Structure 1
Amino acid sequence: MTEGHPDLAGYREGLAAGELRAQRCEGCARTFWPPRPACPRCGCPDTAWVRLPDTGELFTWTVVAHTRLEGFQEEVPYPVGMISVPEAGIRMIGRIGAPAADLEIGMPVRWGLAESPAGGRQPVWTPVPAARRDR
């Protein structure tokens, strides 16, 4: 499950284990995304993959109205968002599994694995229901 770019191997292994992961620098302890061969802050090449929380906040989003990505043509329109993960100090881009009309900047979202229209599984972010936000 590590085909594709080698920098993403730890990310894909995390998804296979049911975890969302990002890299953390062993030198300065910064968590960063997207993955790189060395820390973007201090240049240290020693990194480790760490599990991220299951929730984040919707920083912004857009709606994909046209795509050339195989398997996704039948899915348009669909929202894609930038998710802030405050505990890790990063933002990630991901597909959102809710209508754009239901989205609000700053709303809590939770990721889960879903079948990708292109095959395989991918993380998809969905809004956290209001009843669960206060817990």
Structure 2
Amino acid sequence: MTDHAINDHTFAMLLQQGKLQGSKCTACDAVFVPPRSLCPNCHQADMRWVLMAGTGRLLAFTCISIGPPWMVAQGYDRDHPYCSAAVELDEGPRVVARIEGVDAEHPESIQLGMRLVAQLGERGESDDASASLVFTPA
């Protein structure tokens, strides 16, 4: 846990440290990843950091052949697509992240409901790279 402000900057800093954290509303117990400083369910501002286990299941995915320049720099293109997925974490929140360790060239091999585990990825070009959330098969 952390005493830092609940915001995107702190979320990214914690992710860079290998910690997947969300926020939990103390009034209604709703959990959010990325974290929110105000609960959209009950509109309370009493939120606390909560550490996520980093495991979940695949809800949906798409394989992408045309990506932003930083993805092309990592080797993804028409011949080597990447997958973006909706993942339901074991704690309940749903997140969108890239999935690695799957065959994006043969999406029929990717199974909905499969167990996934969070990893630290890199987003951007070398000097401007930042941590990103990536999932791999468990």
TM-score bucket of the superposed structures, by smaller chain: 0.7 to 0.9
Instruction: Give 1:90's aligned residue.
Output: 93
Q: Deviations over 1:54-104 (max 9, x none)?
A: 21101110011222x331134231001000113x21110001112233421
Instruction: Give 1:3's aligned residue.
Output: none
| 1:1-135 to 2 correspondences below 5 Å | 7-67=7-67, 69-73=68-72, 74-76=75-77, 77-86=81-90, 88-97=91-100, 98-100=102-104, 101=106, 102-118=109-125, 119-128=129-138
Structure 1 alignment gaps of length 5 or more? 1-5, 129-135
Query: Partner letter of residue 132 of structure 2?
Result: Q
Q: How many residues align?
A: 121
Distance 2:61 2:134 in 1: 13
Cα–Cα, structure 1 residues 49 and 31, in superposed 2: closer, same or farther, change >3 Å? same
Distance 1:21 1:115 in 2: 17
Distance 1:49 1:115 in 2: 23
TM-score normalised over the length of structure 2: 0.77
Distance 2:26 2:69 in 1: 38
Q: Give, in angstroms, the shift of residue 114 of structure 1.
A: 2.7
Alpha carbons 2:23, 2:37 under 8 Å: kept? no
Cα RMSD after superposing both structures? 1.9
Tell me which of the two structures has the higher relative contact order, counting C-alpha pairs closer than 8 angstroms and 6 or more residues apart: 2
Q: Give, in angstroms, the shift of residue 48 of structure 1.
A: 1.7
Alpha carbons 2:58, 2:115 under 8 Å: kept? yes
Alpha carbons 1:10, 1:49 under 8 Å: kept? no
Q: Give, in angstroms, the shift of residue 51 of structure 1.
A: 0.9
Query: Partner letter of residue 99 of structure 2?
Result: I
Distance 1:30 1:83 in 2: 17
Runs of 4 or more off by more than 4 Å in structure 1? none
TM-score normalised over the length of structure 1: 0.78
Structure 2 alignment gaps of length 5 or more? 1-5
